[in-house]
Amino acid sequence: MANVAVIGAQWGDEGKGKVVDWLASRADIVVRFQGGHNAGHTLVVGNQTYKLSLLPSGLVRGKLGVIGNGVVVDPVALLEEIARVRAQGLIVTPDTLRVAENAILILPLHAAIDKAREAKRGERKIGTTGRGIGPAYEDKVARRAIRVCDLAEPETLSFKLDELLLHHNTLLQGLGAGTFEKQALLDHLLALAPQILPFAEPVWERLDQARRAGRRILFEGAQAVMLDVDHGTYPYVTSSSTVAGNAAGGAGIGPHAVGFVLGIAKAYTTRVGSGPFPTELFDDVGKLLGKRGHEFGTVTGRPRRCGWFDATMVRQAVKVGGIQGLALTKLDVLDGLPELKICVGYDINGKRFNYLPAAMGAQAAATPIYETMEGWSGSTQGARTWGALPAQAVKYVRRIEELVEAPVTLLSTSPERDDTIMVKDPFEG
C-alpha cells in the first residue's frame, strides 16, 4: 500500500480538510509538511465543526499527528488551538501529537513586521494574513531563526535574540512601528518552553521507523500549488513550497516515500486576498457561488472571490505539483445552474496561452477562453455513487478530467465526511 500526499490544485480553500479527514481513517500517521497558522482546514463531523490551522487533520480521527520541520510554528497559536479542540473533546497530548524539533518558531516580532510591511504597500497589498509566516521563513533562510529545539537552551535563545532584534528592530523603526525588548521576548519563550518541548522530537526518525514497518503515512499540504512561492502567481503567493515534492523535505523523509499525490480542486474556483484571477465573476452567479459554498476564509474570515472552473490553471498545477489524481469538491454548489463555463485557455494581448505565464503583467492581462456546458436540474448533494448523479453532472466531471489531464479519484458532494464517491483508492498507489 502506498503513502498519500494531499495538496491543493488551485489557490487554496479547496476542501482539503474534509478529504484528509476522510483518508485519515485508513492512515496511521498524518503529517503537516509546510505553511503555518495562515492555513485553515474545516472539518464537519456530525454536529461538531473543527477549524484547524496548525494541527494535522488526522487528530480528529484519533491518528498520530506530526508537525514537520517545513512548518513554521507560532507556539502561542499552537497552544491555543490545542486548548480549543480539547474543549471540543479531542485528545491532544504528546502521545498523539509530535512536533519536529528543528521546526522554526514564529515570534511576535514576525507578525509585527508582516503587518507593518503590508500597511506600507497601500494599494499594492499582496493579501498576507499578517501572522508572521513570511518573515519567519525569511529568518530560516537567513540562518538566524529560533527553532523548537532552542527552547531547551536558554543561552542559545539569548544570543539568537540579539541577532534577531538587531535585524528586526531596525526594520520596524524604518517602517514606523514599535520595537521589541530582548528580555521580554526571552521571558516569553522561556515560559512557553515547558509547554512546547514535551511535543518535540526528531520526527524524521519516527517517520523512517513507520515507513520501515509498513505503516501508512498521509502527508497534508496547506494552501495550494498556485500559491507556491516558486510556481504560483508570484508575488501573490504564500511563503513556502506547496507542491508534493516538498512533502519529503518538509517532513524529513525520502522522496520515494511520498507515494500517491492527490490534488484537491473545487468544481469551480475561489481565491482569498489579492492577485490575478482570470475566471473571477462579479455578477449574480459569482455571488451565488459564494453564498451556496459558504465561501469565507477559515483563518481570515475574508469573503472568497468566486469564479468558473479554470481547467488551464489546474492542468498547470497537475504538472508542476506532480498530481496523479484529483479529488473534486463542492460539485453540489453548481446544482441547478442552467449553464456552466470552463476556462480552456487564456487570451493575453491577442495571443492564446495554454498556461498562466510567470510575469505579473501577463497574469493581470489574462482573459479566459471559455467552453460552455449545459447544467443539470437534479441534485448532487450527498451522492455517494456515480449512479446517484445527474447525467450532465457526470459529463461535467468527465470533461474536467480530459482538460486537466488527470483522473478524478474522489468526488465530494457535501461537507459531510461520508458524502464521498471513491473512484480509486489513493492508498493503492
Write out the catalytic residue numbers: 13, 41
Comparing CA positions, the residue from 228, 220, 317, 193 lying closest to residue 266 is 317
d(CA 207, CA 21): 20
Q: Tell me the torsion sign for CA atoms 348, 354, 358, 363.
A: positive
- The answer to whether 144 touches 150, Cβ cutoff 8 Å, is no
CA 199 to mean position of chain CA atoms: 23
Beta bridge partners of 341: 372
CA distance readout (Å), 104 to 70, 197, 333? 8, 13, 39
d(CA 189, CA 176): 25
Tell me the chain's radius of gyration from C-alpha atoms.
22
- The answer to whether 130 touches 114, Cβ cutoff 8 Å, is yes
Who contacts 372 (Cβ-Cβ below 8 Å, separation ≥6)? 339, 340, 341
d(CA 194, CA 191): 7
Angle at alpha carbon of residue 112, lines to 107 and 115, rounded to 5°: 130
Residue length of the chain: 429
d(CA 382, CA 417): 10
Q: Tell me the torsion sign for CA atoms 240, 245, 247, 252.
A: negative
For residue 390, the one-letter residue type is P
Q: What are phi and psi of 257, to 5 degrees?
A: -90, -5
Comparing CA positions, the residue from 406, 280, 412 lying closest to residue 333 is 412
| Residue 115 CB coordination number (10 Å) | 17
